[in-house]
Amino acid sequence: MAENKEKNNKKKSLKDIVVNILLIIALLAILGTAVYYTIQKNNKQKENSVAYSQLLKDIDEEKLQKIELNEASQTALLSYKKDIEKDNKVPEDKKKNSTIPNTQAFMELVNQKIASGKTVEIEQKRKSIFASFMTGFVRFLPTLIMLGMAYLIFEMQGVGKKGKVYDPEVSNNDVKFDDVAGLDEEKNEMIEIIDFLKNPDKYKEMGAKVPHGVLFSGKPGTGKTLIAKAIAGEAKVPFISMSGSEFVELFAGLGASRVRKLFERAKKIAPCIIFIDEIDAIGARRANAIGADTENNQTLNQLLVEMDGFESEQSVIVIAATNRPEMLDDALLRPGRFDRTIVINLPDVKEREDILRIHAKNKKFAEDIDLKNIAENTAGFSGAELANILNEAAIIATSRKQKEISNQDVEDALAKVTVGLEKKNRRISDKDKRLTAYHEAGHAVVSKYLPTQDVVKEVSIIPRGMAGGYTMYRNNEDKYYISETEMREKLISLMGGRAAEKIALNEISTGASNDLEVAMEIARNMVTTYGMNDKIGPMSLNLKNEAYEKLQLLGTDMQNTIGLEIRKTLEQAYQDAQTILRMHRDKLDAVAEVLMKKEKINEEEFNEIFNNY
C-alpha cells in the first residue's frame, strides 16, 4: 500500500512537471506569435505612417479625402485623394495612418479648417468602455504572459522538493538497526534519543532535555542516511528527509521559506525526525566579504532561528549529515542546535563482513565463497562500495550465464569497482605494450622491497577505465594512523613506474601523470600538514582551507622553502625507486616479459617469478 502511494506520488510529480513544461511551451508560442504579429503590424504602420505635422500640412493643402479618427487608439486612418480608385474610395491597403496626440484638440482644429473652407471629410469613432479595456489588455498581454511563465518556473522549482514523510502506520519506513551492520557504538549513542521520541513524558518529569540536533559526519557511503532512517524506524516516528541543496534555489528568499515550511510541517506531525543530508550546502561557514552569498546566509539564519524556537515539549529531532564538517558554521554546532556530533567511520573487518552478509541475503553464491576473505581484502571500503561490489559480481555472473556467483566474479567485480571496466578489445601497439609492462612491473617490484607497503595482488597491462594498466594491492589491515616511514615508502612505490621507464627504456611517458599527482599530494601534506619535514618543523599549515591567506601570512621566503622541501621529498623518492630497480633489474625484466606474454599475473605468479630469480 505504501509502495503504491509512493509510486502514485512520483507519477503525480512527473505529471505536474510535464504539464508545466507544456504550459510554458504554449505560453512561449502565444507570446512568440503575439510578438511576431506586433512587429509585422508595427513595420507596416511605419511604412504607411504620416507624421502629425505632415498631416496638418496635407489638410491645409487639401490632399486628403477622408480622416477616420479613432479616439480609443488615438490614431487616424487617412485616405488621400491621389489614391482614389473606383467607387470614389481609397482601398484599405493604401490608407495611411497617423498618431494623434490629442484627439479632442485635433477634432476642433480640423473643424476650424473645414469652417475656413478646407475640403476634407472627418469621421470620429467614439471610445467605448469595452474598446478601452481591450486596448489596455492587449498592451498588457505580453507582461501577463511573462508573469505567468515566471510563476510556473517558480512552481517547478518546488516540484517534488517538499521532502518525503515516512508514515510508520503504513510501514513506509521499515528500516531497523538490524538492517544496519556494524556501527554498534553509534547505535548505542542514539538509544536515548529513540527512547525520548517514544516516551517524552519520562524526560519531561525529570526536567531533562534531549539534544535537538545530531550531526553525522563521515566519508560518503558510510551509512549516515541509513542509520538516520533506522532511528526513525526504531522509534516508529515519521521521517522527513531533504537534501541541503534543495533549500537553495534560483529565487532569493525561497530557501528560508522552505526551512520555515519544513519545520511547521514537522511540528504538526511530532514526534518525528527531520533529516537534512549534505547540510554543508546551506550550513557552510558564512563569509564576511561584501557581496557574499546572501541567499545561503538567509537560509542558514532561518535554520538557526527554527532550531532555537524548539520548545522542550516538542518531540522533533533534527539529524544532519555531512562529509565536510570542517566547512560548517560555528553557530550550527553550539549547544541547543547540533550539539552532538557522531563520526561515522569506515567499517572495520568485522563490520565489513556483516555488511557483506546483509547484501548477500538475496544473492546466490557458490559454496566456496568466503565473505570473511572478501572483507579482509577490502580494507578502507565503505558500506556502499561493498554493496556495489556484490551487485557487480551478480551482474557479471548473470552475463556469463552462470547459476551462482563465483570467486572469480567477485574478484572481477572488485577490479571493476576500484580500477574500472576492463577493455580487452582495445588495440595497443607493441611499443606502448612494452612501456606499460615495464611501468606496472616497476610499481610491483619496488613495492615488494618496501616493508610497509601492501602485498601485490594483481598486475595487468590490460586497460581499465582511464588507466593503460594497473597494479592492485591486498591490504588485510585497517589502519587508523600512517607513519612517516609508510608515507615515504608510498612515495617510492608511486615513483616505481616512472623509474622503471627511465631505467629500462631510457624514456619517460605521460603514463606516470596520475602517480605524480598522488605523490605531490602526499609530499605536500608531509611538509605542510603533518610536520614531517626537518626544515619546516612541527607546523600544520593545512593549505587546503584558505590556502592563499595562509601563504600570504607565511611570507615569500617560507613559501619558497615549502616548495623546495616538497620537491626534495619527491626527488628523494624517485632516486630511491631507481636504486631498488637497478639492484633488482633481473626481476624487473622478468616481470615485464611475463606481462607482455600473459598481460595479467596474479599474486601467486608474481611471487613465483621472484622465487625463480
Active site residue 440: yes
- Main-chain phi, psi angles of 67, to 5 degrees: -120, 120
CB-CB contact of 467 with 511 (8 Å): no
CA distances from 392 to 194, 372, 388, 412, 456 (A): 36, 18, 6, 9, 23
CB-CB contact of 568 with 488 (8 Å): no
Q: Please state, in angstroms and rounded to a whole number, the distance separating the CA atoms of residues 224 and 216.
A: 6
- Main-chain phi, psi angles of 356, to 5 degrees: -60, -40
CB-CB contact of 319 with 232 (8 Å): no
Q: Please state, in angstroms and rounded to a whole number, the distance separating the CA atoms of residues 420 and 413.
A: 9
Q: Please state, in angstroms and rounded to a whole number, the distance separating the CA atoms of residues 594 and 581.
A: 17
Q: Please state, in angstroms and rounded to a whole number, the distance separating the CA atoms of residues 416 and 135.
A: 68
Question: By C-alpha distance, which of 235, 157, 160, 159 is closest to 192?
Answer: 235
Cell numbers standing for residue 396: 557479471
Q: Please state, in angstroms and rounded to a whole number, the distance separating the CA atoms of residues 70 and 78.
A: 11
- Report CA torsion sign: 223, 227, 228, 230: positive
- Report CA torsion sign: 485, 487, 488, 492: positive
Three-state SS sequence of 369-390: CCHHHHHHCCCCCCHHHHHHHH
Q: Taking the CA of residue 78 as centre, how many other CA atoms within 13 Å lie in the half-sphere pointing to its CB?
A: 23
Among candidate residues 392, 440, 489, 501, the one labeled active-site is: 440
Residues 6+ apart with CB under 8 A from 375: 349, 350, 352, 353, 356
**b/e sequence 182-208, b meaning 16+ C-beta within 10 Å:** bbeebbeebeebbebbeebeebeeeee
Give the Cβ contact number of residue 435 at 10 Å. Answer: 25
As annotated, the active-site residues are 440
